[in-house]
């Protein structure tokens, strides 16, 4: 479902090149849940940003469901994020002026893929029924992250990309939130690629890969 070949990315710092990714190869099958680990600065977030089209690679290819996305225009990458990718970050990125219910449905409505029955199932599974009229500032961290996961899954994406999604949560809440995410990913059949520093959380997924010195080991 996701195929990455010889992906490279270099940044300049004080005039010196920093080779963040040095030829990454990675595959994620449909329905597979993969943890991406590695030391700080190893390029984990950079890799997710390239897959999401938030940045452009210097070389190599990224193919999603048979379509190469590496050379897409900015507008085409935005359409990819809207229609086929779910994104969840450590910072919840909810829209402060929208209620929980409207945040949950936001991406699906923009994509023209709002499914009332699936929306209701997400509300129930994520335990958000009593919170729908609240606003993000009225929620705990765990509640906000559940909304963010629900919003990302509302479009039934091909791939869910999660960058340290439980990094701001205590361990018990993190376990609970990730268990919900795993179950919902299984329900939709989408792939999951999750960046995490936690080997405990990584062990709950199907497979763990590690980025070291810019390559997957």
Look at residue 50 in the predicted model and tell me its pLDDT: 95
Q: DSSP secondary structure string, 133-152?
A: T--GGGS-HHHHHHHHHHHH
Residue 122 · residue 104 · CB < 8 Å = yes
Q: pLDDT at position 71, please?
A: 86
Strand order in the sheet with 2-13: 16-28, 2-13, 59-64, 67-68
Q: For each of the chain's 217 residues, which pLDDT tens digit applies?
A: 999 999 999 998 888 898 999 999 999 999 999 999 999 889 999 999 999 999 999 999 999 999 899 988 999 999 999 999 999 988 889 999 999 999 999 999 999 999 999 999 999 999 999 999 999 999 999 999 999 999 999 999 999 999 999 888 888 888 988 898 899 899 899 999 999 999 999 999 999 999 998 999 8
The third-level CATH classification (topology) of the domain covering 2-216 is Rossmann fold (3.40.50)
Please measure the distance between the N-terminal and C-terminal CA atoms of the chain and give it in whole angstroms. 20
């Amino acid at each position: 479902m996701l195929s990455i070949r010889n992906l490279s990315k270099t940044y300049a710092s004080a005039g010196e090149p920093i080779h963040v990714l040095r030829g990454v190869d990675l595959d994620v099958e449909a329905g597979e849940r993969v943890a991406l680990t590695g030391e700080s600065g190893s390029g984990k977030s950079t890799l997710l940003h390239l897959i999401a089209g938030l940045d452009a690679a210097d070389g190599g290819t990224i193919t999603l469901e048979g379509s190469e996305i590496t050379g897409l225009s900015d507008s085409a990458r935005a359409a990819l994020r809207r229609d086929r990718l779910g994104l969840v970050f450590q910072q919840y990125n909810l829209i402060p002026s929208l209620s929980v219910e409207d945040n949950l449905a936001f991406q699906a409505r923009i994509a023209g893929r709002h499914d009332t029955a699936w929306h209701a199932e997400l509300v129930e599974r994520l335990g958000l029924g009593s919170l729908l009229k609240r606003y993000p500032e009225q929620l705990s961290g765990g509640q906000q992250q559940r909304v963010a996961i629900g919003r990302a899954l509302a479009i039934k994406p091909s791939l869910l990309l999660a960058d340290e999604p439980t990094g701001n949560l205590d361990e018990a809440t993190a376990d609970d939130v990730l268990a919900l995410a795993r179950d919902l990913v299984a329900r939709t059949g989408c792939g999951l690629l999750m960046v995490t520093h936690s080997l405990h959380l990584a062990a709950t997924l199907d497979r763990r890969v590690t980025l070291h010195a810019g390559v997957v080991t």
